[in-house]
Chains A and B, each alone.
Chain A
């Protein structure tokens, strides 16, 4: 069974631009979570989607948004990029919201110049 895939793997943007990242979960998984990982803060939860509905949201500004499609694929968008948004953005999928294990994708490395 194929794992979680994320595209693109690398992105370079400038301040003020916006970016869209994509995540395809493991087949059959309906829950998709997004995390931001930086050396200073570690893994921080952004939001979680289940059946096209945002079920949980972390403590991030409104510039960070996401959505989930009927095939469970998910996208996250960051508008008005700031230098501090440079990070590894990770997507994780699980079968259900309350299931035991999340499986992570390889991540998208975003660099904001």
Chain B
């Protein structure tokens, strides 16, 4: 069974204090790993898709990296508007292709 574990569950940062969110996964064969951002009461907003170990993608203050067992979402010099829940999901090769989601990391950035 595919499993996705995100840590920490919650993270409080000061504005400008860089940090990383972790997504550990267990899947028979990885087709893709996705990062989403979700604001309260809204649908998840797509951020990145990573396909193979060593791959990196960046968008503004966010950088996602991937190894064979985990992915990191690095947040550089965060701002209060980066406050949100960040969700990670994995899609396995073969089978149903339905992504398995982690429980998310709730990030609060204080000014």
Contact = CB atoms under 8 A, between A and B. Distances in A.
B39 to A, nearest CB: 10
B43 A102 contact: no
Nearest to B42: A106
A31 to B, nearest CB: 9
A4 B41 CA distance: 16
Contacts of B104: 42
Contacts of A55: 96
A56 B36 contact: no
A43 B87 contact: yes
A77 interface: no
Contacts of B41: 88, 107, 109
A23 to B, nearest CB: 11
Which bracket fits the contact residues of B?
20 to 34
A5 to B, nearest CB: 10
A97 B43 contact: no
B17 to A, nearest CB: 27
A105 B46 contact: no
B45 interface: yes
B20 to A, nearest CB: 21
B98 A104 contact: no
17 contacts: A4-B43, A33-B98, A42-B103, A43-B87, A48-B96, A56-B98, A58-B98, A90-B44, A100-B31, A102-B34, A104-B36, A104-B46, A105-B43, A106-B42, A106-B43, A107-B42, A107-B43
Q: Name the 8 nearest CB pairs between A and B, nearest first.
A: A104-B43, A43-B101, A56-B96, A98-B97, A42-B103, A104-B44, A107-B43, A106-B43
